């Protein structure tokens, strides 16, 4: 990350004995010093408004946009120019299992490093290096940081989307929409649906207001 100018490292549920002893390479001290550990993925990516997951592709049935890594810079650039990119998170799974379906449900797109079919799965550190290299190569991460002012039309970040989803789930539970057996899968689908809507912060507030009102009515029949 530090080699290619990326700074903001977040780690989800790290194995504590190892995490406490992480030491940085020369020149990367700041990345390690400022790294943050979170218990849950949603907390780690809460500030992002676009989440891109990484996958070796293959077996799993993915219903997200699947990009080649070489297409990722263009994909991000198009969204930045369209005002839909404020902060992007690039998400890596564990080396053994990759991203869970749960984790993928937070992703707006999935990116695949174009590896050889007979050896598709990469070492985690090497996958991170290659992704950071491609982003730097395309100039996506070397642009100077811009001051962003909130506007009505700003894309909603994941934290507020998750908040909205939680409210929605609460309501749907109360109204009996979610069935115990399929509840989890339904929630994943709803999350994707919310992501795909491309809600702005204004939209999120409106939706939150609607849900609050429904909640109130349910509790005060």
CB of 115 to its own copies, least distance (A): 4
CA-CA-CA-CA torsion sign (121, 125, 129, 132): positive
Q: What character string, x for contact with its own copies (CB under 8 A) and - otherwise, covers 169-198?
A: ------------------------------
CB of 148 to its own copies, least distance (A): 23
Give whichever of 88 and 127 is closer to its own copies, judged by the CB atom.
127
Is 136 a binding residue for its own copies by CB under 8 A? The answer is yes
Residues 6+ apart with CB under 8 A from 96: none
Give whichever of 116 and 150 is closer to its own copies, judged by the CB atom.
116
The site that binds its own copies (CB under 8 A) totals a number of residues, namely: 29
By C-alpha distance, which of 18, 15, 12, 19 is closest to 41?
12
CB of 190 to its own copies, least distance (A): 35
Judged by CB under 8 A, the residue of 32, 37, 66, 130 near its own copies is: 130
> Per DSSP, what are the bridge partners of residue 65?
109
CB of 219 to its own copies, least distance (A): 53
**Near its own copies in 67-126, by CB under 8 A:** 70, 113-116, 118-123, 125-126
By C-alpha distance, which of 154, 178, 155 is closest to 166?
178
CA-CA-CA-CA torsion sign (147, 150, 153, 157): positive
Burial label for 221, CB within 10 Å (0-12, 13-18, 19+), is exposed
Give whichever of 109 and 113 is closer to its own copies, judged by the CB atom.
113
- Could you give the CA distance from residue 84 to residue 158 in angstroms, rounded to a whole number? 13
Burial label for 6, CB within 10 Å (0-12, 13-18, 19+), is middle
Judged by CB under 8 A, the residue of 35, 67, 129, 210 near its own copies is: 129
**Near its own copies in 16-75, by CB under 8 A:** 25-28, 70
CB of 175 to its own copies, least distance (A): 47
> Per DSSP, what are the bridge partners of residue 155?
200
Neighbours of 127 (CB within 10 A): 19
Q: Say whether 208 sits in a helix, a strand or coil.
A: helix
CB of 129 to its own copies, least distance (A): 4
- Footprint on this chain of its own copies (rule: CB under 8 A): 2-5, 25-28, 70, 113-116, 118-123, 125-130, 133-134, 136-137
């Amino acid at each position: 990350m530090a080699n290619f100018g990326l700074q903001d490292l977040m780690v989800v549920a790290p194995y504590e004995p190892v995490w406490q002893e992480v030491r940085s390479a020369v020149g990367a001290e700041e990345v390690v010093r400022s790294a943050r550990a979170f218990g849950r993925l949603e907390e780690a990516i809460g500030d992002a408004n676009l989440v891109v997951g990484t996958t070796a592709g293959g077996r799993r049935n993915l219903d997200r946009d699947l990009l080649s890594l070489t297409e990722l810079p263009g994909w991000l650039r198009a969204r930045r120019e369209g005002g839909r990119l404020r902060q992007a998170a690039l998400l890596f799974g564990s080396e053994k299992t990759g991203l869970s379906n749960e984790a993928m449900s937070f992703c707006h797109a999935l990116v695949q490093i174009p590896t050889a079919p007979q050896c598709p799965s990469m070492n985690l550190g090497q996958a991170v290096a290659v992704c950071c290299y491609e982003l730097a190569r395309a100039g996506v991460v070397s642009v100077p940081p811009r001051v962003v002012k909130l506007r009505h039309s700003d894309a909603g970040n994941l934290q507020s989307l998750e908040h909205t989803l939680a409210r929605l789930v609460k309501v749907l539970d109360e109204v009996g929409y979610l069935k115990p057996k399929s509840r989890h899968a339904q929630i994943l689908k709803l999350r994707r649906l919310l992501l795909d809507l491309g809600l702005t912060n204004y939209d999120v507030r409106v939706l939150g207001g609607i849900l609050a009102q429904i909640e109130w009515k349910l509790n005060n029949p």
